A = this chain, B = another copy of it.
Amino acid sequence: MKRSTPKNALYAQSGGVSAVINASACGVIETARRHPDRIGKVYAGRHGIVGALTEDLIDTSRESAATIRALRHTPGGAFGSARYKLAGIDKNRAQYERLIEVFHAHDIGYFFYNGGNDSMDTAHKVSEIGSQMGYPVACIGIPKTVDNDLAMTDCCPGFGSAAKYVAVSTREAALDVASMARTSTKVFVLEVMGRHAGWIAAAAGLAGRGRGHAPHIILFPEIPFDQARFLARVKDDVEKHGHCVIVVSEGVRDASGKFLAEAGTRDSFGHAQLGGAGPVVAQMTQAAFGYKFHWAVADYLQRAGRHVASKVDVEQAYAVGRAAVRLALRGRNAVMPVIVRQSSKPYRWTVGEAPLSAVANKEKKVPRHFITADGFGITTACRNYLRPLIEGEDYPPYSDGVPAYVTIGGRPVARRLKRPFVL
């Protein structure tokens, strides 16, 4: 009996990218290629869901095995990502119907959506609409976020590498300021990502061994900023240790909910002041005590820093990509592979699954018992949770002194729909 022609797959990257999102893409494509009887071609949306909506698809089958393998060590989103949230179905059913139309036109039976909690919501809705329209698609979410804030999974691929970047950088900068403090810089501030959840800031705590070690102060978005307590603590640290290393999450707010980064400082034209929480708290310590300061804002460097990726993170990113394909082949729908922690010491993990509905639009913050009572550090419980996630190094190959990252021009799939889609 002849089997039916295998359906194609669509893979799309969504939201802020990471050092390892392409490792998930690699996991999807390499695994799909091992099942040509079940999966035809893997198409990728150029710039994620935007490519899917506008029928701008990349044919990954035209890329060599070596190129696909190199995705594992290449940061950023190789096919392009998008910050484009589909509206609710009731508000914009046309977008979802368009997606199904594109899927139909390109014989897509599998949709792999690699993103955060918004994207899991979208994947979930696509699955529902497909069923309603009589075009069922296996919609599998693939977790990705440096923010580590997805529900149901022990951790999120992308986070471990950002965490390692921040822990390593904090350790290094701390050695620098300690050298300079006698006659120069007393306060060093590193601003890190995390608008709502302080996981990345927490990871800086792995740079030291706790109280008395750098980072001396971590400012979490989960803890309302109290300027007086903060300044008292800075003074205490400078007096005791000669210097003070501060790691501040971009999302820190005061008790009234106002972001530190917009703490009432406006320029003479009334524009909100440039710069984020980092320069603001650095300046605060100078204004109070006259300390010389330096500050750094890691921004994209922390989430693109594949050169210092966590080996565990790379492996997990690949594993959830592979698991997504396996789940689809097992007939699962509207689910997401998750990382399940079996043990912290030694670290053991496996891949499980969770329904997209349980992940969509939820946000996991740093629990209070992971933060020390004073609000400025991480507890042993937090340390035990975080440490395994930054374990191991997974260096990219280098050429001429810089990493040999791959870029994918992307062979386009011929359009089949007459109607264009306007974003």
Contacts and interface: CB of A to CB of B under 8 A. Distances in A.
Interface in A29-88: 47, 50, 74-78, 80-84
A206 B17 contact: no
A196 interface: no
B267 A172 contact: no
Contacts of A13: 179
B299 A172 contact: no
A295 interface: yes
A179 B275 CA distance: 23
B294 A283 contact: no
Contacts of A294: 299-300
Interface in A167-221: 167-169, 171-173, 175-180, 182-184, 188, 190, 206-207
A180 B299 contact: no
Contacts of A178: 76, 80
A176 to B, nearest CB: 4
Interface size of A as a range: 35 or more
A16 B273 CA distance: 29
Interface in A81-97: 81-84
A180 to B, nearest CB: 6
A319 interface: no
Interface in A349-408: 387, 390-393, 395, 398, 400-403, 405, 407
Protomer copies? 2
A232 interface: no
B305 A172 contact: yes
A307 interface: yes
Contacts of A301: 169, 172-173, 190, 296, 298, 301
Contact of A266 (B267, B274, B305): B267
Contacts of A172: 19, 75-76, 300-301, 304-307, 403, 405
Interface in A271-288: 273-275, 279-280, 282-283
A5 interface: no
A292 to B, nearest CB: 9
B400 A391 contact: yes
A310 interface: yes
Contacts of A77: 176, 179-180
B175 A76 contact: yes
B304 A83 contact: no
A80 B295 contact: no
B75 A176 contact: yes
A175 B273 contact: no
A297 B81 CA distance: 24
Contacts of A268: 265-268
A421 to B, nearest CB: 14
A308 interface: yes
A176 B266 contact: no
A164 interface: yes
Contact of A16 (B180, B206, B298, B395): B180
B50 A171 contact: no
Contacts of A393: 395, 398
A253 interface: no
A13 B179 CA distance: 9
Minimum-distance CB pairs A-B, first 8: A76-B175, A77-B179, A390-B401, A296-B299, A172-B304, A275-B275, A47-B182, A274-B279
Interface of A: 13, 16-17, 19, 47, 50, 74-78, 80-84, 164, 167-169, 171-173, 175-180, 182-184, 188, 190, 206-207, 265-268, 273-275, 279-280, 282-283, 294-301, 303-308, 310, 387, 390-393, 395, 398, 400-403, 405, 407
